[in-house]
Structure 1
Amino acid sequence: MQLGWPRLRVDEWAETRDTLHMWMQIVGKVRLAHTPLINHWWAVALYPTPRGLSTSGIPYGRGMFDIEFDFVDHRLLMRESGGGAREFALRSMPVAEFYDRVMGGLRELGVTSTIQNHPNEVEVAVDFTEDFGHRAYDPSPVHRFWLQLLQAHRGFMEFRSYFGGKVSPVHFFWGAMDLACTRYSGRAAPTHPGGAPNCGDWVMVEGYSGELSSCGFWPGGGEEGAFYSYAYPEPLGYSDAPVSPEAAYYSHEEHEFLLPYQSVRRSADPDRTLAAFLHSTYEAAAELGEWDRAALEVDPRRWEAQQERAWRHARGQGSR
């Protein structure tokens, strides 16, 4: 199955993206309401699936339920472990209607859920029940955005495998609408100052309580979106560190390295181009931040050599 790296201009789906962002916040907040706190808000994220994005299993009573955005058939699926299921088509509709459909569907499944009714990390936070302005939904760009996430997910999963220390899952944060993976040095970080719009400073304090190097992808920061990488706290000299590929640069406005998605898509080997960016920006953070790289990094293919030696020994070739 070859899906490739799709082209999707940011300005091509602005209204749909903004509506989808609100829908994702509603679903994400349901997960937040029912999941115990895990390191740095990892328990609130969504996860890419072969069909779209999912909450994964959410504990409820003695069972669980989940909610999945299907970006292939464009439906929202709600399922509970007793066998019940509800779904509805993803189409143009106000955020207020989407909210009612989600909450109503959960009630029919026996799930009672109460969430904070306004979005976070956006400048204008309209109550979900009163948001009739965000209503656009174009299936084509949404499908291509999901394909972008799949490509980013592949690259991040491969990159994640080189780290043996504390590292987050590859997960989708609905607050900023980005796919991310974060590595930690194991040391505490200075208290984060906060400042995200419509988001309590204490949220960022929890999110950035450990020294880290984080990478991600989001549908902004470039003509077709961008990959990013940043360090917190940012070590001295980080912004001037040499990184790869040539298209990557440090944004003093965003305080992070950026690599335009289209630069990856158009390259001769997108997977290698993305890997160069991820590894070089992490190495800048780890070297300048004096991480214990020998203790934290691993070879993801470390067992292949041992299996080869065992195979050769079994065939009497161990001494050759």
Structure 2
Amino acid sequence: MAERTELRVDEWEPTRRTLHMWLQIVGKIRMINADPVNHWWHVTLHVSPRGLTTGPVVDAAGVFEIEFDLLHDVLVVRRQDGRSESIALADTTVADFYAALLAICARLDIDARIHAAPNKVDRAIPFADDTIHHVYDPDHARAFWRQLVDVQRGLSAYRGGFRGKSSPVHFFWGAMDLAVTRFSGRPAPAHPGGVPNCPDSVMVESYSAELASAGFWPGAGEEGAYYAYRYPDRPGYRDAPVPPGAYWDDTLREFILPYETVRRSSDPDALVKQFLTATFDAAQGDDRWG
């Protein structure tokens, strides 16, 4: 198996912040066109053989797809009738990217009347006004996608080992993380909200049931990090034994496994499996979910 990709957070931060805003725009277009699914699963993007995609979105005019082709540095918008348009991914402001995508959507009969400002970021600059984020390094974008492919493999295997209710492995553009969630089958107390530039109602729906979530966030530590948490928290959860290199973070209130620890491991896939298994066992306790 090929070695895992090294991508330092501090080195690719300018590209990450720009790409995050572009992903939010595309994700919001999917959100307003897709039929609602519990826990906001209808808004997510998915890892593809080329990058990240909305997958097929059914709307009044048929079916469309928007894909970030990070292998060829292009955003492609496709219709079921054969129409297709693209935007070159390069050093481009969020404002210019947004304007170009709106024009394509108008020509391809795609509703793009989104809430035109980002969520889950401290400074929510309207997309049409964002000239601050404008950096796109193709090598960094491709390295990020290769990270996601490796993470997808481990999360997909983990998801397949559970008989109960589970989410797909999917990419949340709000926080820019790839995640999978297992559920106990019981309701959960209402989430308190308070997430920057995100309506409390969104968080309440997201966490309306008792769950254990795990995933990968590219903006943590040196090279990103795997994470795992439970909602609601339970006594003793944070004290659970986890593999060497993993730890409980009191600030984030979740378990963390640094990506560089996985990358340097003699068996990265096995270490990820141990982390996911240990944290889920701690989350379910003696209840045996699923």
Q: Same fold (TM over 0.5)?
A: yes
Q: Partner of 1:272 in structure 2?
A: 270
Secondary structure at the residue paired with 1:184?
A: strand
Q: Partner of 2:258 in structure 1?
A: 260
With structure 1 as the length reference, what TM-score do the two structures score? 0.89
Aligned equivalents of 2:66 and 2:59: distance in 1? Answer: 13
Q: Which amino acid aligns with 1:278?
A: L
- Residue 188 in structure 1 maps to residue 187 in structure 2: yes
Secondary structure at the residue paired with 1:13?
A: helix
Q: Which amino acid aligns with 2:247?
A: Y
Displacement of 1:111 in angstroms is: 1.9
Q: Partner of 1:97 in structure 2?
A: 96
Displacement of 1:46 in angstroms is: 0.3
Secondary structure at the residue paired with 1:145?
A: helix
List structure 1 runs of 4+ shifted beyond 4 angstroms: none
Displacement of 1:112 in angstroms is: 3.1
Q: Partner of 2:106 in structure 1?
A: 107
After superposition, give the CA deviation of every residue in 1:115-143 in whole Å (9 maximum; x if it has no partner).
Answer: 00100000000000000111000011110
Secondary structure at the residue paired with 1:272?
A: helix
2:249 to 244, 248, 251: 251
Secondary structure at the residue paired with 1:221?
A: coil
Q: How does 1:11-160 map to 2 (within 5 A)?
A: 11-160=10-159
Aligned equivalents of 2:40 and 2:111: distance in 1? Answer: 22
Displacement of 1:42 in angstroms is: 0.4
Check the 8 A contact 2:31/2:43 in 1, yes or no. yes
After superposition, give the CA deviation of every residue in 1:220-262 in whole Å (9 maximum; x if it has no partner).
Answer: 221000000000001111111111x210000000000000000
Check the 8 A contact 1:3/1:147 in 2, yes or no. no
Check the 8 A contact 2:212/2:283 in 1, yes or no. yes
Displacement of 1:108 in angstroms is: 1.3
Q: Which amino acid aligns with 1:85?
A: S
Aligned equivalents of 2:181 and 2:220: distance in 1? Answer: 19
| Structure 2 residue runs without a partner (length 5+) | none
Secondary structure at the residue paired with 1:5?
A: coil
- How many positions carry a matched residue from both structures? 290
Q: How does 1:231-246 map to 2 (within 5 A)?
A: 231-243=230-242, 245-246=243-244
After superposition, give the CA deviation of every residue in 1:292-311 in whole Å (9 maximum; x if it has no partner).
Answer: 34xx1xxxxxxxxxxxxxxx
Displacement of 1:62 in angstroms is: 4.7
With structure 2 as the length reference, what TM-score do the two structures score? 0.98
Secondary structure at the residue paired with 2:118?
A: coil
Q: Partner of 1:292 in structure 2?
A: 288
- Structure 1 vs Structure 2 CA RMSD: 0.9
Q: Partner of 1:301 in structure 2?
A: none
Q: Which amino acid aligns with 1:136?
A: V
| Structure 1 residue runs without a partner (length 5+) | 297-320
Displacement of 1:31 in angstroms is: 0.3
After superposition, give the CA deviation of every residue in 1:62-90 in whole Å (9 maximum; x if it has no partner).
Answer: 51101000010010000011111001210
Q: Partner of 1:283 in structure 2?
A: 281
Aligned equivalents of 2:32 and 2:162: distance in 1? Answer: 31
Check the 8 A contact 2:29/2:111 in 1, yes or no. no
